[in-house]
Amino acid sequence: MQKPLIVSIGIPQKLVAQLQRALPQCYFIHHSSEDAALEDIAVQHPPLVLFFPRRNIRGRNRYQLLSRLSGPGLPTKVPVIVLSDISTRTDKINAFVAGATEYLVQPFFSRELAVRVGAVLDAHDNRKSLLRLNSSLTRAKSLFLKGMVSLMTLKDAETGGHLLRVAHYTKVLLQDAVIQNHFSDYLTRQDAKELSKAAILHDIGKIHIPDNILQKPGPLTGEEFAIIKTHTLHGGELLHRLRRVSDSTFLRFAEEIARAHHECWNGTGYPYNLKGEEIPCSARIMAVVDVYDATRTARVYKSAWSHAQSTQYIMDNKGTLFDPTVVVCFYKYRDIFKNISGSYQKLLKGLNLST
């Protein structure tokens, strides 16, 4: 197993020997020059830096180096243990404010050095493992979403385009400051990213709907429409089961959207007849983008509406079918919606589901 690399800066020679005795499992690179150390850190990306700051020279900030460790070309969040010959509270505060991870005061006992350094190295390794896990989960989520789009496209060729477009519309609305403020108690910036991806799964329940109903070239009977409406329940239940296996913000949004994207602001929607703010904000946003794209798209049972017709329909139903704030933001970006609606092939190639 490769020895962990530690870059030390300004360490007195007597202390260098003590460090090497206390930490034989580590490989050290010692520097007296801060500039040379920074160059080495930029190349080596060590898991730990040991820093012995010089005393003030004409008022110079003895922890200035720590701020330089976050400069361009340097690895982010390099753990730094300060080894100091000053034990004042003020100096400790200055060190931690500047970015120190640990602060040890002379005399340094070899056992203490070994324990403190080992703890910081373990924390660094754990953080790297979490980052690798997060990266793997992100890739898995991207593959899952692309797989769902492919599955739905096999069932209905136009559905794949619809799923990608509504994800793009949702992303546009979520970038608006009015939407962010309107849902500030519910949506963080990271949540907004998860919601735009979760939008792709809003119609996942349609995999349960028989093809002869889903693709019927004509008006549905009352019984057939009742079957179509169950896609909200099927989709919500499927995603709820996935949440039992591995819950996440992404799956929570996906379940909310699948269940409630056909609810109406005035309580006349389905499946639960939710009204106003009883409807999750994720579903209120989806209700607008879903209706816009559905009306703009020709299907076997209907012709496509023009952009002007779809826009007018949404505006006419502001405060009845749709959340008024979401409608106002939709109108602000209506030209962008029009461009997305007409760019299906480009969108298929360019939409990155992993970001």
Catalytic residues: 206
> How many CB atoms are located within 10 Å of the residue 91 CB?
18
What does the radius of gyration of the chain's CA atoms come to, in whole angstroms?
Answer: 29
DSSP codes of every residue in 107-143 = SPPHHHHHHHHHHHHHHHHHHHHHHHHHHHHHHHHHH
Cross-strand bridge partners of residue 29: 7
Do 178 and 325 meet the contact criterion of CB atoms below 8 Å apart? Answer: yes
Cα–Cα distance measured from residue 277 to residue 283, given in angstroms and rounded to the nearest whole number = 10
Detail the DSSP E strand segments found in 10-94: 27-31, 48-51, 80-84
Rounded (to 5) percent helix, strand, coil in the chain: 60, 10, 30
Tokens for 137, please give them. 């989960």
CA distances from 54 to 14, 16, 86, 195, 332 (A): 16, 16, 10, 50, 58
Q: Which value, to the nearest 10 degrees, does the dihedral of the CA atoms of residues 113, 115, 120, 123 take?
A: 170
CA distances from 192 to 32, 49, 180, 249, 290 (A): 47, 36, 9, 10, 17
Cα–Cα distance measured from residue 290 to residue 206, given in angstroms and rounded to the nearest whole number = 14
Work out the burial of residue 258: count CB atoms within 10 Å of its CB; fewer than 13 is exposed, 13-18 middle, 19 or more buried: buried
Do 330 and 288 meet the contact criterion of CB atoms below 8 Å apart? Answer: yes
Q: What is the β-pairing status of strands 80-84 and 5-9? A: unpaired
Which distant-in-sequence residues (6+ apart) come within 8 Å of 291 by Cβ?
A: 310, 313, 314, 321, 322
